[in-house]
Amino acid sequence: MDLIGASALVIGGAGGFGEATVRTFVDAGIKVVVADVADEKGKALSDELGEGVEYVHTDVTSDEAIDEAIDRARALAPLRVAVIVNGGPGGASKRIVSRSGDPLPMAEFIQTTEYYYIATYRAVSRTAAAMSRNEPLADNQRGVVITTASIAGFEGQVGQTAYAMAKGGVIGLTITAARDLAPAGIRVMSIAPGTFLTPAYNMTEEEANAKWGPGVPNPKRMGRPSEYAHLALGIAENDYLNGTVIRIDGALRFSP
C-alpha cells in the first residue's frame, strides 16, 4: 500500500513499542497521531518530531476518546494505518487459585481483559469504520489495522491466565476480522512479541540481556522496540500480509 500522503494512528504511541513505531513511520514520510494517556511523554515526542505529528490524550476504554484520535488523524491525511499497542493496569502474575486457596479476584481479571482485549476490539472496529470511508488505492486497498498480541497468547506462563486469555483473544480476532473487513479493502494483522526491552523493565539493555537473553535461542538478547516498529511498517506496506499473527521472539517459547 502506498503510504505517501497518508496518516497513521498509533494507540499507545508514547510507550516503548509505540514510540519506536511513531519514529519509524515519521521517517517513512507518514503523518502520525500519538494516542496515549502519558501526556508528558506523548507531548514531548510530538514536539520533538514536529509538523505532521500530533499527540492526543486517549483513554482506550472510551469510544469517544478513540473517535477523537481518529478524527485528528483524518484531519492530517487519509487514515490508512492503525497500530494498536495499548497496555494498561492489570496483568499481574497471579494464579487462578492462590496458595492459600483463594480465587483470582474477578475485578483484577476484568481489569486486565478490559485493557488488553476489549480495548483492542474497540480500536479495531472504530479505526476500520473510519478507513472504510477512504478512497480505495490499488487492489481496492483502504487501510490496515495492526494489533499487538504476545507469545503469552500461545504459551502463557504460570500466573498469566488473565493476560494470556486476553492476548489469545487478540490472536483469535486476527483472521476473523480480516475476513469481516475484506470487502472494505481493510487488512488486519497482529504482531506477537516475545521479551522486548521496553521501559517497563526499568533496567539497562546490558542488565536486561544478561538476565533474559540466555533464554532466547537466537539472538541471545531481548528484542528491541525498533525491530517491532520495522515489522509494523513492513506489514503496512505489504498488501499480501493479511489475517496472520507474526511472532517476533528470536524462537523463544515460554516455559511454564
Ordered domains of the chain (ranges, CATH): 7-247 (3.40.50.720)
Determine which helix (DSSP H) or strand (DSSP E) holds 115, and give its type and residue range.
none
Query: Is the CB of residue 145 less than 8 Å from the CB of residue 127?
Result: yes
pLDDT at 202: 80
Look at the alpha carbons of 219, 224, 226, 231 in this order and tell me if their dihedral is positive or negative: positive
pLDDT at 89: 67
| Annotation marks residue 115 as catalytic | no
pLDDT, averaged in runs of 10, over the chain (256 residues): 95 96 98 97 97 97 97 98 84 84 93 94 98 97 97 93 95 98 98 89 88 93 96 98 97 90
Query: Is the CB of residue 18 less than 8 Å from the CB of residue 82?
Result: no
Q: Which of 9, 251, 2, 254 is nearest to 128 (CA)?
A: 9
Q: Which of 163, 201, 228, 240 is catalytic?
A: 163
Query: Does pTM top 0.75 for this prediction?
Result: yes
pLDDT at 256: 86
Tell me how far apart the alpha carbons of residues 154 and 178 are, in angstroms, rounded to a whole number.
20
pLDDT at 200: 75
Side-chain half-sphere exposure of 182, counting CA atoms within 13 A: 10
pLDDT at 92: 63
Tell me how far apart the alpha carbons of residues 94 and 129 are, in angstroms, rounded to a whole number.
37
Tell me how far apart the alpha carbons of residues 120 and 107 are, in angstroms, rounded to a whole number.
19
Q: For residue range 157-201, what is the model confidence (pLDDT) as tens digits?
A: 999 999 999 999 999 999 999 999 999 999 999 999 999 988 777
pLDDT at 203: 85
Bridge-partner residues for 8, per DSSP?
32, 81
Tell me how far apart the alpha carbons of residues 138 and 36 are, in angstroms, rounded to a whole number.
32
